[in-house]
Amino acid sequence: MTEIVVHPGLLLIVGALALALLRGTARSVAVVALPLAALAAVWQIPDGVVWHGSFLGHELAPLRGDRLSRLFATIFALMAAGGGLFALPQKSRLEVPAAFVYAGSAIGVALAGDLLTVFVFWELMAIGSTLVLWAAGGEPSYRAARRYLMIHLLGGVVLLAGITGHVAETGSVAFDRMAPDSIARALILAGFLVNAGAPPLSAWLPDAYPEASWSGTVFLSAFTTKTAVYVLIRGFPGTEWLVWIGLFMVFYGIVYALLENDMRRILAYSIVNQVGFMVAGIGIGTEMALNGAAAHAFTHIIYKALLLMSAGSVLMMTGRRKCSELGGLFHSMPLTTVCGSIGALAISSFPLTSGFVSKSMVTQAAADGHMLAVWLLLTAASAGVFLHAGIKFPWFVFFQKDSGLRPPEPPAPMRWAMLLFAFLCVAIGVWAEPLYALLPYPVDYEPYTGAHVLSQLQLLLFSGLAFFVMLPWLKRTPTITLDVDWIWRRLLAGIARGLSRGLAGLRTRLARAATVGSAQLLAAVERVHGENARLARTWHTRSMALWVLVLLLGYLVLYYV
C-alpha cells in the first residue's frame, strides 16, 4: 500500500476527532484549515489506484483518482471549509466535528475504487449526519434524528445485501459501471437511490434537515444526496428509468415546496427537486448529460448552501422559521438579503449565475437525444424552480409585508461565508471554463448563445409574472405539509399509540385479576391456617390418643389382610 499520498477523507475524519481537544482561536483556525488541507490533498492524488489492499481474498482500492472522483472530492472539501467558517459562532461542541466526519466520509466514497470501501464510508456518512442532526438539541431534532437514522440504516442494509449478492455473482468488488440486470445490482441501485431522496422515501429529507441547527442544515444539504449522485454517475449511467425517477423528483419537490410554509422545508424540498435534474441526466446517459449532472451537483452544493446560510442567519437572528412570521427583513439584514437573492437567482438558472451554465447542459442533452417529452418537462420544471425557490423564498422571508422584525446581520464569520459562496455563484456563472475543465468528459457546449439566454429570460419572466398573479393563493398558513412521511409520522405512530393503549389496558386487567386472585388465596389460607382456623386450634390429649389408636388398628388390619 502506497503511503506517500495522504487520503483526504481520512485526514478530515482524524482531524475532526482532534477538534475535541482544541479551544479558542486554535479551534477556529483548525475548523477552516482542515478542509483546506483535505482540498490540497485531493489535488495530490494521481489518476488510477493509489492505495491497494486485500480483504477475505478480495482486492480493495481504498484510494483511486480520476476526473469524476476529483471533481466531487473537491466540492466536498470546499463545502466543508465554507460550512465550517459559517459554523464558527456555533456553540455546540459536537456539530462541527460530526460534520467533518460526515464530509470526510463523503470524500472517502468519491475516492473509493471498490464497493466494500464505498459501503464503509457510506455508513460513516449516516453516523456523521445523524450526529449533526442530533447536535441541534431538543426533542424535535432527537425524533427527526431517529427517523433519519432508521431510513438510512434501511438503505444501508439494502446496499449491503446488493453488494454481497454482486460479489457472489461476479467474484469482484471493483466499483465500476454496472447495470441493474440482476436482483443484487438492483438492490445496489435501490440503496443509492434512498440517499438520493428518490421515491417512495423522498420525505426523509424535508422531515430531517429542517430540524438541524441554523448551521447544521448547511452541512446536511451538501453531502448525502450529492454522494448518491456521484455513485449513480459512476455505477449506473444510462439506466433509462432513472430519467422518470428524476422527473418525478423534480415535480414532487416543486409541488410540496409551493405548499410549504417553513422556509427551510421549502429549501429542503428544492434539494429533492434539484437532485431530480441530476438523476434525469444520469438516466439520459450521454457524455453531455453526465457532464451536466456532475456540473449541476457541483454548482448546486454552492448555491444551496448559500440559500441555507441566508435562511440559517434569519433563524439565528430572529428565532423564527415560518414564512408567515417573517417579512421586511431587508431593512436590517441587507447583506443576508443580497446573498440569499443571489442564491435564489442561481438555483433558478438566471444568466450570469452558476445554475445557468450547469442545469442547461441536462436539458440540452435531452434535446440532443430527441427526447421531446423529457425536454418539455425539464423546461417546465425550470419555471417551477423559479416559483418556489427563486421568488417564493426571498419574497416571503425578506420582502413581503413588514413583520416589524429588525434583527441585525449575523456574526462576521457567517457573513464572510455567505459572501464567499455568493462570489462563487457569480464567478462560475460568468466564467464557466474552469468548472468545465474539471468535468469527466470533454465539454463542447456554449451556454451563452442568444437563443438560450433569451429563452431562459422569457421563462423566468413569465414564471415571475405567474407568481405575483397567484400571490393571494400562495400565502401560507402556519401548518406543516405531510406526504409519504404520513406513514411513519401519523399511521405508524397511531398504531403504536393504539398498541400501547391496548397493552396498558391488558396490563391493568391482568394486575386486577392478580390482585383478586391473591386476595382469594390469602382468604383461603386464612380459613385453614388463621388464628381461629381448624389447623390452628389446640387439641386435647385424649383426641390425639384416639387418633393414634385408630391409626394403629388400621395398620394391623392392613398387615394381616
CB neighbours of 140 closer than 8 A, spacing ≥ 6?
Answer: 211
User: Three cell numbers at 464?
Assistant: 415571475
Report the predicted TM-score, pTM, of the whole model to 2 decimal places: 0.85
How far is the CA of 116 from the CAs of 121, 162, 177, 337, in angstroms? Answer: 9, 11, 15, 44
Nearest to 290 by CA among 221, 220, 242: 242
Distance (Å, whole) CA 157 – CA 136: 27
Distance (Å, whole) CA 509 – CA 406: 59
Distance (Å, whole) CA 291 – CA 298: 11
Distance (Å, whole) CA 31 – CA 251: 37
Distance (Å, whole) CA 408 – CA 333: 6
**Encoded amino acid at 126, one letter:** A
- Degrees, nearest 5: CA angle 260-262-268: 75
pLDDT tens digits, the chain, 561 residues: what are they?
445 789 999 999 999 988 878 888 999 999 999 999 999 999 999 998 888 888 877 788 899 999 999 999 999 999 999 999 999 999 888 999 999 999 999 999 999 999 999 999 999 999 999 999 999 988 989 999 999 999 999 999 999 999 999 999 998 899 989 989 899 999 999 999 999 999 888 889 998 999 999 999 999 999 999 999 999 999 999 999 999 999 999 999 988 888 888 899 999 999 999 999 999 999 999 999 999 999 999 999 999 999 999 999 999 999 888 888 888 898 899 999 999 999 999 999 899 999 999 988 999 999 999 899 999 999 888 888 887 777 888 888 888 877 788 899 999 999 999 999 999 999 999 999 999 999 999 998 899 988 889 988 888 888 888 777 776 666 655 556 667 766 766 777 778 888 888 888 888 888 888 888 888 888 777 776 666 666 566 666 767 777 778 888 887 888 776
φ and ψ of 553, to 5 deg: -60, -40
8 Å CB contact between 309 and 86: yes
Residue 52 DSSP label: E
8 Å CB contact between 303 and 343: yes
pLDDT, position 1:
42
User: End-to-end CA distance of the chain, in Å?
Assistant: 98
Identify the bridge partners of residue 51 per DSSP, sorted by sequence position.
63
CB neighbours of 206 closer than 8 A, spacing ≥ 6?
Answer: 256, 260, 265, 268, 269, 272
**What is the CB-side half-sphere exposure of residue 419 using CA atoms within 13 A?**
10
CB neighbours of 40 closer than 8 A, spacing ≥ 6?
Answer: none
pLDDT, position 480:
62
Distance (Å, whole) CA 110 – CA 486: 34
CB neighbours of 153 closer than 8 A, spacing ≥ 6?
Answer: 126
How far is the CA of 427 from the CAs of 83, 153, 355, 557, in angstroms? Answer: 19, 39, 11, 119
Nearest to 348 by CA among 396, 377, 321, 388: 388
